Amino acid sequence: MNNIPGKILFDRHEIDRRVNELAEEIGHDYTGKDMVVVGILKVAFMFFADLIRRLPNQPAIDFARLASYGSDSTGSGSVEIRKDIEISIEGRDVLIIEDIIDTGITVNAFIEQLKKRRPRSLRVCTLLDKRERREVELPVDYAGFIIDGGFVVGYGLDYDEKYRCLPDIYILDEERLSGGGL
């Protein structure tokens, strides 16, 4: 089996540089604040870990697991919270860290749930922002890279639980999306 799933979109060095820049910007914006960082599992775990280790402040950390994709390459349109956050966010400054935002439906649904818990502020950071696919109005406060079409894998992003551990981000070959070469 060919272990290269497609063309490299961002290599590990570009990702590392951009994560450093995001950490600096976020660290500056959250200086002196009671920060809670919420990582979205499973896909954002690599980006999340790399980013929070570089933050100059020491945020509280929690995780949520949201589902809107199955084994398909397109969203299902419905959102399920499979694991909710466990710490109180009332009166705190919350930053959601996601791997990729395309339609915005999943993150928007999660934001609406979190707003009910009365955080002082609520912001979103994503590694990849597919703005051209946005179906709902969603403020993305920090975006690592803005990308167009294509299904991406690597650096935590997967296709049917494959390619998650690759250190670079690839645009998945169409033949793999159609079932060949997996």
Active-site annotation holds for 72? no
- Out of 102, 129, 158, 173, the active site residue is 102
Q: Which residue has the tokens 């999340």?
A: 48
Buried-exposed string 143-159: b where 16+ CB fall within 10 A, e elsewhere: bbbebeeebbbbbbbbb
Q: What is the DSSP letter of 159?
A: B
Tell the burial category of 78 from Cβ atoms under 10 Å away from its Cβ (0-12, 13-18, 19+).
Answer: exposed
The answer to whether residues 130 and 148 touch, using CB atoms and an 8 Å cutoff, is: yes
Q: Is residue 123 within 8 Å of residue 142, measured between CB atoms?
A: yes
Q: Catalytic amino acids? A: 102
